[in-house]
Amino acid sequence: MAAFVLASVAVCWPAISTLAVFSFHHEFSSHVFLIPVLSLYLLYIERQLVFREVHSSAALGSVLVLTAAALYWRAMAHSSVQSPAEYLPGSTLAIVLIWTGGFLICYGYRAWRAAIFPLLFLLLMVPLPEPVLDRTIYLLQAGSTSLSFSLFKLVGVPVFRQGFLLSVPGQTIEVAKACSGIRSSIALFITCLLAAHLFLRTPWKILLFVVLVFPVSIVKNAIRIVTLTLLSVYVDPSFLRGNLHHDGGFVFFLLALAILFPVLLLLQKSEPRRTLPNAAIPVDPLVGQAPS
């Protein structure tokens, strides 16, 4: 498997090197190369379950690898005239599928089924297409602006709203794209996805906990906007340009975790004990029955 991954990296190096540069310059993709590390860690801690039964599914894996290779070729065919944001989603998706196909070839369908979460987790390497990213940022902007407006009124501060502009006595702020909290929202999503996988078992509880990331991100961002604005108005105007504004996102990220942590505990408390019944063994679709 290691040889397969190294060979695929060598073949797909133009896309991987471009992805590295892209992730360095775009904050919403700065997590990209952390994802394979986390995926490997998940495979390691779940290795007894994943590699309990190993056999090759060469036919199924080869079909997936060849299909992914065709997708990669199509995505990279016009890369010289396209911006990285246009072809990287397709090429990165193809690379992830190639690795998934290699896993099938090396370890088989049963191991692939047991490792489905770590393998699907690799999809977080794929940069969001620009239309999806722009729509997500817009929703975060709109939600943060509306909630900030309500919080100002709640604490008794006169406020006037016009679009993404909020005016309070002595200060007018704009909830711009840079203030949408997209980077911390992605980090919060990844964190909650891992927590849900490690500590929850019921599908609807996992879904509920992950879906909560979006409203909590808006709450966290609105609290940040209101806090910085009030500090700039009543304490020091430099708060809107200081370290708390530019580097204080981690403080409010911890606030979001503090909101979600009791929810996770409540959901986990109602979970049944985890068991690993021998009967629940996935079947290779090309074989039709579990190998003896």
Is residue 280, in this structure, part of any structural domain at all?
no
Which of 18, 25, 16, 110 has its CA nearest to residue 61?
A: 110
Three-state DSSP at 274 gives: coil
| Cβ–Cβ < 8 Å for 75, 126 | no
In a shared domain, residues 239 and 170: yes
Is residue 188, in this structure, part of any structural domain at all?
yes
C-alpha pair distances (Å), 264 with each of 33, 186, 187, 278? 27, 18, 17, 28
The C-alpha atoms of residue 220 and residue 249 are separated, in whole angstroms, by 10
In a shared domain, residues 22 and 141: no
pLDDT tens readout for residues 236-274: 666 666 555 555 567 888 889 999 999 999 999 987 765
The C-alpha atoms of residue 204 and residue 208 are separated, in whole angstroms, by 6
The C-alpha atoms of residue 106 and residue 102 are separated, in whole angstroms, by 6
In a shared domain, residues 33 and 66: yes
What confidence score (pLDDT) does residue 242 get? 58
- Residue 292 pLDDT exceeds 50: no
As for how many domains the chain has, the answer is: 2
| Cβ–Cβ < 8 Å for 96, 146 | no
Domain region containing 236 = 132-269
Identify the residue with better confidence: 80 or 144.
Answer: 144
In a shared domain, residues 187 and 152: yes
In a shared domain, residues 118 and 143: no
* Strands across the sheet containing 171-174: 160-162, 165-168, 171-174
Is residue 278, in this structure, part of any structural domain at all?
no
CA 154 to chain CA centroid, Å, is: 33
Three-state DSSP at 166 gives: strand
Whole-structure pTM value: 0.83
The model's confidence at residue 281, banded by pLDDT at 50, 70 and 90, is very low
What confidence score (pLDDT) does residue 236 get? 67
Is residue 282, in this structure, part of any structural domain at all?
no
- Residue 122 pLDDT exceeds 90: yes
Can you tell me which residue has the tokens 């992830």? 96
- Residue 277 pLDDT exceeds 90: no
In a shared domain, residues 30 and 154: no
pLDDT tens readout for residues 126-178: 998 889 988 999 999 999 999 999 999 998 889 899 888 888 888 888 888 77
The C-alpha atoms of residue 292 and residue 280 are separated, in whole angstroms, by 14
Is residue 185, in this structure, part of any structural domain at all?
yes
Secondary element (H or E) of residue 66:
helix 58-76
The whole-number average pLDDT for the span 97-101 is 96
Identify the residue with better confidence: 118 or 78.
Answer: 118
pLDDT tens readout for residues 180-224: 778 888 999 999 999 999 999 899 999 999 999 999 999 998 998
Q: Per this entry, what is the length of the chain? A: 292
Which of 171, 172, 179 has its CA nearest to residue 236?
A: 171
In a shared domain, residues 80 and 101: yes
| Cβ–Cβ < 8 Å for 43, 99 | no
In which region does residue 166 sit, left (phi positive, over 0), alpha (psi from -120 to 50) or beta (all else)? beta
What confidence score (pLDDT) does residue 280 get? 44
The C-alpha atoms of residue 231 and residue 252 are separated, in whole angstroms, by 15
DSSP 271: P
Identify the residue with better confidence: 7 or 81.
Answer: 7
- State the CB neighbour count (10 A cutoff) for residue 274: 7
The C-alpha atoms of residue 208 and residue 196 are separated, in whole angstroms, by 10
Of 126, 154, 172, the residue that ends a domain is 126
